[in-house]
Structure 1
Amino acid sequence: MGTTVLAKGARLLVPGIICFLTSAPVFAETQKLALPQVIEVSLQNNGDLKSFREEKGIRDAGKIRAGLLPNPTLDFEAGTGALTGSSAENSLSLGVSQEFFLAGKREKRLTIAEQELEMYRWQLADRERALRDEVKTAFYDVILAEQRIVLTDRAIALNRQLLDVTKERLAAGDIPELEMNLVKVELARGEGAKIDVERALNQNQAKLGTLMGLSVGEYPAIVGSLESATSMTKNLPELKQLAHGKRPDLKALEAEKNRGESDIILAQAESIPNLTAGFAIKRDTTAIEVGSAEYKDTDYIIGLKLSMPIPLFDKNQAGVQEARAKRSSTESRLTAVTRNVERDVETAYTSVLNAEKVLSLYKSNIIPQLEENLKLTQEAYRLGEVGILSVIQEQKKFFEVSEGYLTALHARQLALVKLESAVATDINGGVQ
């Protein structure tokens, strides 16, 4: 009788375990955030990203500075002959001078400031892409930990039911006390495993909360599944082409390369000195003695002054050489990053294919066969052909493989996340 109860109880629980593998854990009384909402909150509140957004003001200030003209210079000069015995003689001069940029330097600096802003916008987009990668990874880490807790709860529930059955059978004299003790050990192991998984969940929630910019001790309530309806419809060459057109780090380097070209043009223009023009009004008062009389004479002079350094020794050769070296450095980095992008896409694409193969094995062979093995072992135990140890081992194997299946689902999601990050495009078509 006890054996029959055990077999029936186990058969009732097996379908529940299978259902778990395709369902998300249930939480009550809490508004949960799906992955798109979690990403949106992170993009708005992440501390590092907010700090980098504030740096736009630095680029805006640079653009304002590039468009400003030099301030005019006010010249004032006064002279007197009082110290030399000619107190009636004095002079007064007032002038204004202004430096003028030649060779279109102001326009060239404005162009460079615009390119700096373009670089910044692509750098910001690249940081957002990297943050999406981190948030998605942390999100699925939390989902995996939550589903592992559900799996350990089911394992504990099954072992408790086994313990109740063994107590009944022990009381009936059908089994030795050792069988009941073995089930107690399995129950304790399951409770210990749950503690470890809960600790991992707490750590993953804390990491996700940090990325989302939440307060210390505040954990996000999320909802999601490791199952994915996403399917790859593009081949590797198409993904590489997408990456070349969408990756913001490549765009940032291309903008930096364009700025390097503008830096060279500006450095060459800097070899032409600026012109300074001045305008002044001068009043001279002189005294002339005729006999015993002294006559004063006042003259007003208007003057124009033009000055320009002679580019004899310094023709900004160092500035031109520096600008060319920076451009060459940028070109080298762009070439290297382009190769790395292609490598990233290839690696992520291969990881997705491998993860899908592993999942296919689980779904088509491992899980169904393991379930059948568990049923056969339970039936053999009911008939008295095997002992409780065989049932425990088969159940243990079933839960270990079920956890492996969860890990495979998680690995596929992470592979998709890496592929989307490498291509800078959602697999379903949205640009990151």
Structure 2
Amino acid sequence: MIRLCMMLLWFGIVGAVSASSSHAMTLEEALATALRQNPELQELRLEAESAEAQLDKARLPLIANPVLETSGSRREMDPEEEGGSVTNYGVRLSQEFEVAGQRSIRIEVAQKNLSRVGFEIADRERMLRHEVKEAYATALASKERISLAKEVVKLREDLLDLTRTKYRAGDVSALEVNLAEVEAVKARSELVAAEQSHRDAILSLQGVTGTGIDLLPSVVEGELTPDVIGVPDRQTLRNALRERPDIKAAALEVDRSNRAVDLVRREAIPNPSLGAFYDRDELRSDVGMVLSISIPLFDRKQAERREARARLEQARIKRAGLDLTIEREFDEAYTNLVSSLRQLSLYKKEIVVKSLENLDLLNLAFKEGKIGFYDIRLAQRDAIDVRFAYLDALLRAEQAINNMERTTGGNLR
């Protein structure tokens, strides 16, 4: 009975593992999983929480806490007078105030920093979508390559069987049989390589999406169909560059750094402290006000000013460099998009699909002796090359579309 229970438990575990490892993943599921689980995005979202906390701090009415001071002393009285002892004590309460408008600038700096982090999150999401689409397209192409490789194996094995049959009948030579065997072995080897490539593509997709190994999909759903009709207008795509989140983040960083320079300049102005005190001794009680202010003799925020100006210059250089990089990326992406779509337009899917179907007729003609071994071998090779070239063109077009979407930050379809 115990052995039976253990066997049932084992088969249940195996079945559960098989079920979890054989599920298919759609592109939408891959994108949602990546946006939810990607470690870099999670880190940036925590940085946004930190920026929100900095904004909350900047909004405090007073940047410094009040200071409470107490003092006390015990003094022995002159024995010739009254004798005994008296206790003297005092209490002071003071508060530092900002008088140069630092609070409003500090709030503005914190708000710009929070907005910048928000655009950085959006930019990382843009890049992550591209990475997921790229990995997903590669997985789709590798899956279709397996299907095509299986068709090639069947064609080569059918040709090998026909060649052996004709060899036994004395219609072909042993050399032709050997060539058919080599082609069949080569086809099976390419199928194994295609399956390994598909496994690698699935693992790459797992790394991009952050999917656990227990949820690793065995297949991906869909097919490569770059359904962009014609080449998009170049100027329309270029206009979309202004909406890229990294450009907005860089511009906000320049503004934030500029205001940070103003903030440091204001912080160099000493803040006065206003307080009240109460002192009592054996003779009298004193109540009064006290005003204190530091003298900026040594520290006038020289280092902070220099650092703020350097960071402002860094932000400006980064913004200018980003503009040049985006222009170069756009030119490359648009050129690749035009080239890949034109190359894809040379193929007609119906013709490409029928190219392998026609080989069945050629096999029949070879079987009936209407064509020779080398003719059908060459025809098979040409048809197979066309199918693989069409698959490569599909993948290049898909990658070019994804790359243009990454560059512009928008969608082409």
**What's 1:128 paired with?**
125
CA contact (8 A) 1:206 1:217 kept: no
Contact persistence 1:138–1:204 (CA under 8 A): yes
Deviations 1:179-200 (A, max 9, x none): 3332222111111111111111
Moved more, 55-64 or 151-160: 55-64
Map 1:78-97; keep pairs closer than 5 Å.
78-82=72-76, 87-97=84-94
Q: Which of 213, 225, 248 is the matching residue for 1:227? A: 225
2:14 counterpart residue number: none
Q: Is the CA contact (8 Å cut-off) linking 1:236 and 1:346 kept in structure 2? A: no
The residue that corresponds to 1:22 in the other structure is none
Task: Determine the structure 2 residue equivalent to 1:18.
Answer: none
Distance 1:232 1:342 in 2: 22
Matches of residues 374-385 of structure 1 in structure 2 within 5 Å?
A: 381=366, 384=369
8 A contact 1:35–1:139 mirrored in 2:
yes
Deviation larger for 59-68 or 199-208:
59-68
Cα deviation, 1:139-187, whole Å, max 9, x if unaligned, reads 0110111111111100111122222222332333322333333222211
Alignment map for 1:206-355 (pairs within 5 Å): 206-216=203-213, 218-220=215-217, 221-231=219-229, 234-244=232-242, 246-285=243-282, 298-312=283-297, 314-355=299-340
Shift of 1:366: 9.3
Q: Distance in 2 between matches of 1:278 and 1:267?
A: 26
Cα displacement (A) at 1:380: 7.6
Question: 1:77 corresponds to which residue?
Answer: 71
Which of 326, 344, 355 aligns to 1:359? It is: 344
RMSD: 2.8
Aligned to 1:49: 41
Q: Offset of 1:312 from its aligned partner?
A: 4.6
The offset of 1:311, in angstroms, is 3.4
Shift of 1:274: 0.6
Give the number of equivalent residue pairs: 387
SS at match of 1:362: coil
- Give the structure 2 partner of residue 39 of structure 1: 31
CA contact (8 A) 2:356 2:384 kept: no
Structure 2 distance, partners of 1:232, 1:132, is: 23
In 1, the alpha carbon distance for the partners of 2:180 and 2:407 equals 48
Percent identical among aligned pairs is 29
Could you tell me which runs of 5 or more consecutive residues in structure 1 were left unpaired when the two chains were aligned: 1-28, 286-297
**CA offsets, 1:361-419, max 9 Å, x none?**
33399959977996997698568575313321321232123112111110010011000
Partner of 2:391: 406
SS in 1 for 2:346: helix
CA distance in 2, matches of 1:193, 1:381: 25
Deviations 1:42-72 (A, max 9, x none): 1112233223222222212222332333111
Question: 1:91 deviation in Å?
Answer: 1.4
2:134 to 128, 134, 137: 137
The residue that corresponds to 1:65 in the other structure is 57
61-70 or 196-205: which moved more? 61-70
Taking structure 1 as the reference length, what is the TM-score of the superposition? Answer: 0.82
**What is the rounded CA distance, in whole Å, between the counterparts of 2:78 and 2:195 in structure 1?**
97
Q: Which residue of structure 1 lines up, in the alignment, with residue 100 of structure 2?
A: 103
